[in-house]
Copies of this chain bind each other. A is one copy, B any other.
Amino acid sequence: MKWLQSNPQKEEKPRTGSLHTSGGIVETPNFMPVGTRGSVRGLSSDVLSRAGTEILLVNLFHLWLRPGENILKGSGGIRPFMGWKGPILSDSGGFQILSLKERRKVSEEGVHFQSPYDGAPVFLSPEEVVRFSGSIGVTIAMVLDHLVSPDEGEKKNREALERTLRWAKRSLDARESVSTEMALFGIVQGGLDPELRKFCAGELSGMMGASGATFDGYGIGGLGIGESPEERVSLVSAALESLPEDKPRYLMGVGYPEDLIQAVGEGIDLFDCVLPTRNARNGMLFTRSGRLIIRNARYGEDYGPIDKTCSCMTCQSYSRAYLHHLFRTGEMLGPVLNTIHNVTFYLSLMKEIREQIVIGTFSKWKHSMLEHLNSRGNHE
């Protein structure tokens, strides 16, 4: 895997580049639609491609439980299984240490989970995560990290960070025995403490496996779970200070369009978030002039598309009135069409960001776009 940075523009920090992975080239900055259990809710791979998707995210913990390694291997890997020809990044299960708190026990060796499906025991270790990712043909694997909630206090946060670093080293070692071209990304933790974030990023940057391998990129994890926008900016900046300029940086699980634009300005290359897909299912749609809630009565007789500037299949063929009708009647096509729009919106935004960076007008564009997006209250 190579990441080419075509236009560093150090003063403003935004970077464009491309990830050369075994599954194809991904231009950055870019956004990954979330397919936790091996599908982006309601969208076929064909529809995802047409929405502009270049790379997908899946969750290793969920795939481990269902369908499991045998079936993924029997299918020729996760990409043929999902009918997806492009690259796939797998999140490791670190997030589940937080979200399935009642069903897991963390030790130095790894994490013992109880399956949320049937209570069966599951053991994830840094080595197993790397091995499993390689075994199922993931393009970019995230290491297993120990994620704690900001309210667990300083001591727990520091312990988890130190464990995350020891696990990161074990992951690098384990990666050397995986024969595929898989890339491996370390994950910066450190909770709400900028100093710890900076320390963690520095440690990961200098980290080497037994045979000298380093990380191919870096995730910044544990954000988008309750910190304020100002806190996030300072935490991301602190991490970026100690990460190498020539490798991709991925802000995990964040966020709204305005958050993405902001983070690109700080130097982030890659994103994933459930917002465009989950909110679409609830009828919340993103537009260039703010968000709209399609169930609101005012859209019942609104014959225009969601967003006049959008080229997605939904906006090309359907009106707000139709989408309002689908929501009201509970028709499954509603979530499908809404998701197509929101995913296209995120991916078009990333494409526009890349174009703006290349022609050197990102900073100006950013201010104007943030103003438009912040008119969101008006629409709802």
User: What's the Cα separation between A302 and B313 when bound, in Å?
Assistant: 33
The answer to whether the Cβ of A45 comes within 8 Å of any Cβ in the partner chain is yes
CB of A83 within 8 A of CB of B45, answer no
Q: Is A301 an interface residue (CB 8 A)?
A: yes
Q: How many copies does the complex hold?
A: 2
State the CA gap A324–B336 with chains docked (Å).
Answer: 20
A20-50 residues with Cβ-Cβ distance < 8 A to B are 37-46
With A317-B83, A321-B74 already in contact, the answer to whether A329 and B66 are too (CB < 8 A) is: yes
Contacts of A38 in B (CB 8 A): 322, 325-326, 329, 331
Contact across chains for A46 and B313 when beta carbons are under 8 A apart: yes
Q: Are B81 and A44 in contact, CB atoms less than 8 angstroms apart?
A: no
Range, interface on chain A:
35 or more
Does chain B have a CB within 8 A of A333? yes
Closest B-chain residue to A322, C-beta based?
B81
Contact B318 A71 (CB under 8 A): no
Query: Closest CB of chain B to A66's CB: distance in Å?
Result: 6
Decide if A319 touches B75 in the complex (CB within 8 Å).
yes
Contacts of A37 in B (CB 8 A): 325, 329, 331
Closest B residue, CB atoms, query A319:
B75
Check if A253 is an interface residue, CB within 8 A of chain B: no
> Which residues of B are found within 8 Å of A319, using beta-carbon distances?
75, 81
Tell me which residues across on chain B come within 8 A of A335, comparing CB atoms.
Answer: 332
Contact check, B317 vs A45: say whether CB atoms are below 8 A apart.
Answer: yes
Query: Known interface pairs A71-B300, A301-B74, A321-B71. Does A331 touch B83 (Cβ–Cβ under 8 Å)?
Result: no
CA distance A190 to B319 in the complex (A): 42
Tell me which of B41, B71, B301, B317 contacts A44 (CB under 8 A).
B317
The interface bits of chain A over 306-326 (1 if a CB of B lies within 8 angstroms of the residue's CB, else 0) are 000000011001110110111
Assembled-state Cα–Cα distance A46/B45 (Å) = 15
CB neighbours (8 Å) of A301 from chain B are 70-71, 74
Alpha-carbon gap, A71 to B314, bound state (A): 19
Is A318 touching B83 in the complex (CB atoms < 8 A)?
yes
User: What's the nearest-Cβ distance from chain B to residue A376, in Å?
Assistant: 26
Query: Would A317 and B75 be within 8 Å (CB), given that A83-B322, A328-B66 are in contact?
Result: no
Residues of B within 8 A of A81 (CB): 319, 321-322, 325
Min CB distance, A156 to chain B, in Å?
32
Q: Name A268-321 residues within 8 Å CB distance of B.
A: 300-301, 303, 313-314, 317-319, 321
Q: Report the minimum CB–CB distance from A56 to chain B (whole Å).
A: 13
Q: A37-B325, A44-B317, A75-B322 are in contact. List 7 more A-B contacts (CB 8 A).
A: A38-B325, A42-B42, A42-B333, A67-B321, A71-B301, A76-B303, A82-B322
